[in-house]
């Protein structure tokens, strides 16, 4: 201990300016240590993040080196702050560096969970203030100064402390709700015993329960007296009844759709002019992605009241009809055999049930046929299957001289004497003047 005191005296520890310089050097060294930790540990973190699929893995790979940087810097500053007898000015420097490192660490953790920027900034600033004030003996002086700044509105006293408490509690509960919903979604998604519709239903009910619990907890923490809101309860109920009628109707309709399993994520549906696969069933609307990549948001209530074609309700097998017409002078049996061959060679056509060809009618232009094939993945589109079969069929028809009809008309001309016909068709007032 004597050696440490002698060393501190040797570097000018008793001087306030010397302590400030040493504190600044410690903060700079902490920043350097964090940078080196992120540089050396970054490749390992990104390699570990590749185990997470999609955008989630990319976000983890970007955030983990930053978390390592700020965690290393914070640990580097905690030790000297707790062991060395800094004076007030030097303590402010070290505490500011430690608070900034912890605030950035918390902000990146919250951003990793998908929270908006404003929530991360607000909670990071709150942690920064807590760290700095905690180093100097707690929050009592800060609470007193914030509570002294107040505004009287009627019989209510609104202080700056109550406003700050409200914002912090709201931000913390919002962050906890988002993180809880993500944990719930991940946990329910791993339940393979439930189908997609049951998982979505459990996720929606669980999300509503988490939000309701957060609201009740916030009311209890903030000490809000609900009896003061009885005057506005009638107006609030009336506003909900008229203004939010459609919103609650869509919410109930979404829950009913999930419970009766009439539609579920992954189903291929046709609603009006919209045809595509259901991406998710939300609180207000159902997301349907078409083959063009467009995402249509259809209100849940519309799927309850309108006719919906569900191509994969009881089975994902879908039959496609492809009309083909050949000329009358073609070999009928050979043409039908080539139609079956072209259908079987298509990659997405199922071998069972086998493709079939029907002769529909003797049309005006030729022999009209209907090629019927079965596919298992209607969400991949049906027009591309028809195009593939017709392209193959065109090559086969050209190789075997199977003719395709084209529009044609027979015009019959009758010879009539022009001189007699012209005189007979002239009216009396159209005859040439004889004078």
The three-class DSSP label of residue 358 is strand
* Pair type for strands 367-375 and 318-326: antiparallel
- State the pLDDT at residue 434: 46
Nearest 10 degrees: CA dihedral of 300, 301, 307, 308? Answer: 0
pLDDT tens digits along 323-356: 999 998 889 999 999 999 999 999 889 988 899 9
Whether the bond into 342 is cis, omega within 30 of 0: no
**H or E element at residue 373:** strand 367-375
Kindly list the distances between the CA atom of residue 292 and the CA atoms of 251, 281, 381, 384, in Å, as whole numbers in the listed order. Answer: 28, 20, 10, 12
Instruction: Give the CATH architecture of domain 252-310.
Output: Roll (2.30)
Contact 296, 276 (CB under 8 A): yes
CA dist 347 and 343 (Å) reads 9
Averages of pLDDT over runs of 10 residues in the chain (435 residues) are 50 64 83 84 68 58 77 82 70 80 81 72 78 67 62 68 74 78 74 67 77 78 63 59 68 75 80 82 81 81 80 78 91 92 91 91 90 86 88 92 79 65 50 47
- Is CATH 3.40.30.110 the classification given to domain 318-399? no
Name the pTM for this structure: 0.45
* Residue 392 Cα distances to 98, 134, 212, 329, 342, angstroms: 70, 77, 59, 21, 6
Per-domain residue ranges for the chain?
Answer: 8-138+158-189, 252-310, 318-399
> Under DSSP, is residue 316 helix (H, G, I), strand (E, B) or coil?
coil
111 contacts 63 by C-beta, under 8 angstroms: yes
Helix (H, G, I), strand (E, B) or coil at 407: coil
- In three-state secondary structure terms, 359 is strand
Alpha-carbon distance 301 to 285, whole Å?
8
Q: How far apart are CA 201 and CA 255, in angstroms?
A: 7
Q: How many CA atoms lie within 13 A of 48 on its CB side?
A: 10
């Amino acid at each position: 201990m004597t050696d440490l005191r002698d060393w501190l005296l040797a570097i000018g520890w008793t001087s306030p300016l010397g302590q400030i310089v040493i504190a600044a050097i410690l903060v700079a060294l902490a920043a350097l240590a964090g940078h080196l930790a992120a540089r050396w540990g970054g490749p390992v973190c990104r390699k570990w993040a590749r185990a997470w699929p999609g955008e989630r893995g990319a976000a983890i790979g970007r955030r983990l080196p930053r978390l390592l940087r700020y965690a290393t810097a914070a640990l580097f500053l905690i030790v000297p702050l707790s062991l060395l007898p800094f004076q007030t000015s030097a303590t402010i420097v070290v505490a500011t560096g430690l608070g900034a490192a912890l605030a950035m660490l918390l902000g990146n953790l919250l951003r990793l969970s998908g929270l908006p920027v404003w929530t991360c900034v607000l909670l990071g600033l709150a942690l920064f203030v807590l760290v700095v004030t905690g180093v100097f003996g707690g929050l009592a002086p800060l609470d007193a100064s914030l509570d002294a700044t107040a505004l009287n509105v009627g019989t209510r006293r609104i202080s700056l402390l109550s406003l700050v408490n409200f914002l912090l509690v709201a931000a913390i509960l919002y962050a906890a709700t988002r993180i809880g919903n993500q944990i719930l979604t991940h946990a329910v998604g791993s339940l393979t015993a439930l189908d997609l519709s049951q998982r979505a239903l459990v996720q929606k009910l669980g999300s509503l329960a988490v939000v309701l619990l957060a609201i009740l907890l916030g009311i209890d923490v903030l000490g809000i007296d609900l009896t003061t809101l009885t005057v506005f309860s009638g107006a609030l109920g009336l506003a909900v009844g008229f203004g939010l009628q459609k919103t609650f109707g869509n919410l109930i309709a979404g829950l009913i759709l999930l419970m009766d399993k009439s539609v579920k994520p992954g189903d291929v549906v046709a609603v009006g002019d919209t045809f595509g696969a259901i991406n998710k069933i939300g609180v207000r609307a159902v997301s349907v992605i078409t083959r063009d990549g467009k995402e249509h948001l259809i209100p849940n209530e519309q799927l309850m009241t309108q006719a919906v074609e569900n191509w994969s309700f009881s089975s994902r097998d879908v039959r496609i009809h492809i009309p083909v017409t050949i000329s009358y002078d073609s070999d009928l049996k050979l043409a039908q055999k080539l139609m079956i061959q072209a259908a079987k060679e298509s990659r997405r056509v199922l071998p069972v049930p086998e493709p079939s060809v029907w002769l529909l009618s003797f049309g005006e232009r030729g022999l009209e046929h209907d090629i019927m094939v079965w596919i298992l993945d209607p969400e991949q589109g049906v027009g591309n299957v028809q195009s593939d079969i017709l392209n193959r069929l065109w090559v086969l028809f050209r190789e075997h001289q199977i003719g395709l009809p084209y529009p044609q008309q027979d015009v019959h001309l009758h010879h009539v004497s022009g001189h007699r016909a012209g005189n007979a068709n002239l009216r009396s007032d159209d005859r040439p003047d004889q004078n």
